[in-house]
Amino acid sequence: MSDQSARAERLLSGKRAIITGGASGIGLAIAKAFAQHGAPVCILDRNLDGALGGAREISASGAVAEARACDVSESDSVRRVFDGIFAQGRVHLLVNCAGVAHVGTVTTTSEDDFDRVMRINVRGMYLCLGATVAHMKQHGGGVILNMASIAASAGLPDRFAYSTSKGAVLAMTFSVARDCLKDNIRCNAISPARVHTPFVDGFVAKNYPGREAEMMKELGQAQPIGRMAEPEEVASLAVWLCSDQASFVTGVDYPLDGGYMNLRG
């Protein structure tokens, strides 16, 4: 491939991006893909060591990346970190990946666990959205991508708090998309089914000790396509949705589910 062809394929060239929850899994895959497509990326995560490792890996490839510690559920942390990033220049893209999962029904989910999931998955996204929308309005627009889940739309067993939080993510996505049409800000969501990440490995080990192999097989076969998605597959869709090629797309939830929503049964 010629240098000219390689440059032509860089869909996000010069578009500065913030990725929350970018230290591992889907968030890290998106950060890498954005960087490959020419976007300077800022990885935010509570796990600063992981975020720094991701940023170093991206920088070693010749792309531009930095990392900052941020607890998205704390307004002071979000305000301080986002203001610092904005002080360095315009941000064109925000990807909200930070989130946690939980196993439980409405009767087995404790108040503390419910509040924890809502604080990170819902309040955290609200705070990051509020900070970034205000900035984008001042600078001519931008693109926001929120990581939702099929749990927002499908009745998954034992996922009461998580499903509730992801339903709120979709509602926030549609609301921001509607309210920001006049400000040249697009806002969409991706709703993955099962994605094979280190988070999933740890989640299975914690919640199904001794049954890891069985549960991994079951999680893969839950998708009609017969496997879990890879983080890079989510990242490829994220690149397109945040690029000018998707300039007519806003207020949309994209299921990336291996046929889960429409081909079950």
Catalytic residues: 162
HEC profile of 113-133: HHHHHHHHHHHHHHHHHHHHH
Q: How far is the C-alpha of 103 from the C-alpha of 205, rounded, in Å?
A: 13
Please give the helix or strand (H or E) that residue 212 lies within, else none.
Answer: helix 212-221
Two structure tokens written together for 154:
């499908």
Distance separating alpha carbons of residues 44 and 97, to the nearest angstrom: 10
CB neighbours of residue 87 within 10 Å: 7
Residues 6+ apart with CB under 8 A from 32: 54, 57, 58, 235
Task: Spell out the SS3 assignment of 1-35.
Answer: CCHHHHHHCCCCCCCCEEEECCCCHHHHHHHHHHH
CA distance 160 to 9: 41
235 touches 26 (CB < 8 A): yes
The values of phi and psi at residue 153, to 5°, are -120, -20
Q: Are strands 93-96 and 65-69 parallel, antiparallel or unpaired?
A: unpaired
